[in-house]
A and B are shown apart, each in its own frame.
Chain A
Amino acid sequence: DGGITQSPKYLFRKEGQNVTLSCEQNLNHDAMYWYRQDPGQGLRLIYYSQIVNDFQKGDIAEGYSVSREKKESFPLTVTSAQKNPTAFYLCASSMGAGILYEQYFGPGTRLTVT
């Protein structure tokens, strides 16, 4: 049963702590993405990776870091430098890089930082 998994579904952290969100895919996709959604706004791209050991900043990368050591995994770390970390985070993957490849999304992780 192929797909994208994100864990946990809900995550709570204290301000000043780094937190890592998990994203795993077994679709054998080359490209992976992280988006953030805030109330009343569309999804915004944080980082994307077209291939293992390579990743690029998206529109709102400040305060976030990623790694892509394995094809199936693209974890996102929300650092203490991110000013407004409370949001809904969505991970996606696609067969190739670029808009013409359909992106498949995970169910998301809702992060709350207090």
Chain B
Amino acid sequence: DQQVKQNSPSLSVQEGRISILNCDYTNSMFDYFLWYKKYPAEGPTFLISISSIKDKNEDGRFTVFLNKSAKHLSLHIVPSQPGDSAVYFCAASVGNNNDMRFGAGTRLTVKP
């Protein structure tokens, strides 16, 4: 039962353009969402998060949008850079719970 879904396994964009990575969830109790980035041969690293009391959180080139009614969040990267090429995982949690639920990941390729 995958409660967090990333339906696009891969995405390719041109350098300088916007990358939009999407994530859908089914559990309406989720109230904290995170994005992780993973390079080959390394563990995932935390990128950005958002609480359900917000609908947008921005950190430099990265912005996460949350649409609670649609149970959808997205990560925008503007402008995209070749170094952003990685696998991006979204994750969700209920309260301050250790049991995060992860999506399967989307592989982003940014072409020079």
* Chain B neighbourhood of A2, CB < 8 A: none
Q: How far is the CA of A56 from the CA of B97 in the complex (A)?
A: 12
Residue of B whose beta carbon sits closest to that of A58: B99
Q: How far is the CA of A90 from the CA of B43 in the complex (A)?
A: 7
Instruction: Tell me whether B98 and A45 are in contact (CB under 8 A).
Output: yes
Instruction: Tell me whether B102 and A98 are in contact (CB under 8 A).
Output: no
**A side interface size, CB within 8 A:** 28
B70 to chain A, nearest CB (A): 20
A-contacting residues, B80-112, CB 8 Å: 89, 91, 93, 95-105
Q: Residue-by-residue, is A28-68 near B (CB-CB < 8 Å gives 1, otherwise 0)?
A: 00010101000011111100101000001011000000000
Q: How far is the CA of A104 from the CA of B42 in the complex (A)?
A: 11
A107 at the interface (CB under 8 A from B): yes
Residue of B whose beta carbon sits closest to that of A94: B98
B26 at the interface (CB under 8 A from A): no
Q: How many residue-residue contacts, CB under 8 A, span A and B? A: 66
Q: State whether A33 and B105 are in contact (beta carbons under 8 Å apart), knowing that A106-B43, A107-B43 are contacts in the complex.
A: no
**B side interface size, CB within 8 A:** 27
* Chain A neighbourhood of B89, CB < 8 A: 42-43
Main SS at interface, chain B? loop
* Chain B neighbourhood of A58, CB < 8 A: 98-99
B41 at the interface (CB under 8 A from A): yes
Q: How far is the CA of A106 from the CA of B95 in the complex (A)?
A: 25
Instruction: Tell me whether A4 and B43 are in contact (CB under 8 A).
Output: yes
B62 at the interface (CB under 8 A from A): no
A103 at the interface (CB under 8 A from B): yes
Q: How far is the CA of A4 from the CA of B44 in the complex (A)?
A: 12
Residue of B whose beta carbon sits closest to that of A92: B43
Q: How far is the CA of A42 from the CA of B38 in the complex (A)?
A: 13
Instruction: Tell me whether A40 and B104 are in contact (CB under 8 A).
Output: yes
Residue of B whose beta carbon sits closest to that of A100: B96
A39 to chain B, nearest CB (A): 9
Instruction: Tell me whether A42 and B102 are in contact (CB under 8 A).
Output: yes
Residue of B whose beta carbon sits closest to that of A48: B98
5 nearest A-B residue pairs (beta carbon): A105-B43, A42-B102, A98-B96, A43-B102, A99-B93
